[in-house]
């Protein structure tokens, strides 16, 4: 069995030039969990990239990662997509209208189904009818077995925006996984340059500094000069 190294556990999100200009933040919560925020319309998009532990790891490790994801989901306000290698198989029996009948049917698959139920999400690539070669996402060394382990989840309220989902077999990528593609109707927005928020504390300090400067100068003015300034007859005004 291949040994997972620390470097092999690190996930990444690859964006093209247009999407990269819409990135507002990137947060790595662990070697297996990465969050990327994109500015979009009408709501921002949050990509959560996950790499679940393999069967060489305990269920407790898997549960910890699910808990981390749920904590992140509770804080996110944009349109969330959770994607990656879940190392789980959900099967071909539909749970409801958010887990389709086109999975490739393990115990950890049930954990994924329960996760999506709690968070009201839909597994996109089990909802569209494709030949099995367009559904499996990984083949074992020697190609003696094929599995569907990678999934893309979106919030159920946006399921009508998902137009299609399938794997891209034969893509030129150095991996034993097939690329998983989902077609979604969204509109990204390039970040505009802005001045940023006012520094209220600094502004307050400037006001105090100006007032003290005025008081200091007035203290140096004679009563006669003050009277001239008030009546507008003085030639030297502050």
Residue 30 sits in a domain whose CATH number is 3.60.10.10
Q: Check whether residue 207 and residue 169 sit in a common domain.
A: no
Q: Check whether residue 42 and residue 118 sit in a common domain.
A: yes
For 216, 220, 221, 225, 237, the CA distances from 231, given in Å and listed in that order, are: 21, 18, 15, 10, 11
Q: Check whether residue 170 and residue 207 sit in a common domain.
A: no
Residue 236 lies in a domain: no
Residue 211 lies in a domain: yes
Q: Check whether residue 223 and residue 133 sit in a common domain.
A: no
Pair of tokens at residue 141 = 């060394």
Q: Check whether residue 115 and residue 224 sit in a common domain.
A: no
pTM above 0.95, yes or no: no
Residue 39 lies in a domain: yes
Q: Chain-wide mean pLDDT for the chain? A: 78
CA distance 224 to 234: 9
Q: What is the pLDDT of residues 36-88, one digit of tens each?
A: 999 988 788 999 999 999 888 998 999 999 999 999 999 887 789 999 999 88
Q: What is the pLDDT of residues 136-177, one digit of tens each?
A: 888 777 777 788 888 999 998 888 889 998 888 777 777 778
Is 50 exceeded by the pLDDT of residue 3?
A: no
Q: Check whether residue 71 and residue 43 sit in a common domain.
A: yes
Under DSSP, is residue 67 helix (H, G, I), strand (E, B) or coil?
helix
Give the number of domains in the chain: 2
Q: Check whether residue 184 and residue 206 sit in a common domain.
A: no
Domain around 204: 200-231
* Local confidence band at 193 (pLDDT 50, 70, 90 cut-offs): low
pLDDT for position 101: 52
Is 70 exceeded by the pLDDT of residue 181?
A: yes
Question: CA angle at residue 16 from 14 to 17, to 5 degrees?
Answer: 130
Is 60 exceeded by the pLDDT of residue 180?
A: yes
């Amino acid at each position: 069995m291949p040994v997972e190294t620390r470097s092999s556990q690190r996930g990444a999100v690859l964006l093209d030039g247009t999407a990269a200009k819409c990135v507002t933040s990137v947060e790595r919560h662990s070697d297996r969990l990465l969050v990327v925020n994109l500015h979009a319309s009408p709501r921002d998009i949050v990509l959560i990239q996950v790499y679940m532990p393999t069967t060489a790891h305990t269920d407790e490790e898997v549960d910890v990662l699910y808990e981390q994801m749920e904590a992140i989901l509770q804080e996110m306000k944009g349109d969330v997509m959770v994607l990656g290698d879940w190392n789980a198989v959900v099967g071909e029996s539909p749970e409801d209208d958010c887990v389709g009948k086109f999975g490739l049917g393990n115990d950890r698959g049930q954990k994924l189904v329960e996760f999506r139920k709690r968070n009201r999400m839909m597994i996109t690539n089990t909802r569209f009818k494709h030949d099995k070669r367009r559904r499996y996402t990984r083949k074992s060394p020697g190609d003696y077995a094929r599995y569907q382990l990678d999934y893309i989840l979106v919030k159920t309220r946006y399921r009508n925006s998902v137009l299609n989902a399938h794997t891209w077999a034969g893509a030129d990528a150095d991996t034993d996984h097939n690329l998983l593609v989902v077609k979604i109707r969204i509109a990204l927005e390039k970040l505009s340059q802005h001045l940023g928020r006012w520094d209220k504390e600094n502004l307050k300090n400037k006001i105090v500094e100006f007032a003290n400067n005025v008081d200091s100068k007035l203290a140096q003015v004679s009563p006669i000069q003050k009277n001239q300034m008030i009546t507008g007859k003085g030639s030297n005004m502050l």
